[in-house]
């Protein structure tokens, strides 16, 4: 799966973006509930 250094960096970037998306969704849900 991890073939090359660039792919590893790309994977980390994708993971960070996914985490940010989840955080954003969580915050929006909390704001909507309140």
Per-residue pLDDT at 26: 96
**4-33: pLDDT as tens digits:** 566 666 678 889 999 999 999 999 999 988
Per-residue pLDDT at 30: 93
DSSP state of 2: -
Contacts of 11 (CB under 8 A, 6+ apart): 2
Q: Report d(CA 19, CA 8) in Å as an integer.
A: 17
**1-12: pLDDT as tens digits:** 555 566 666 678
Runs of H (alpha helix) within 1-34 = 5-33
Name the pTM for this structure.
0.57
Per-residue pLDDT at 10: 67
């Amino acid at each position: 799966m991890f073939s090359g250094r660039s792919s590893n960096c790309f994977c980390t970037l994708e993971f960070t973006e996914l985490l940010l998306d989840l955080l954003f969704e969580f915050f929006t849900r909390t704001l909507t509930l309140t």
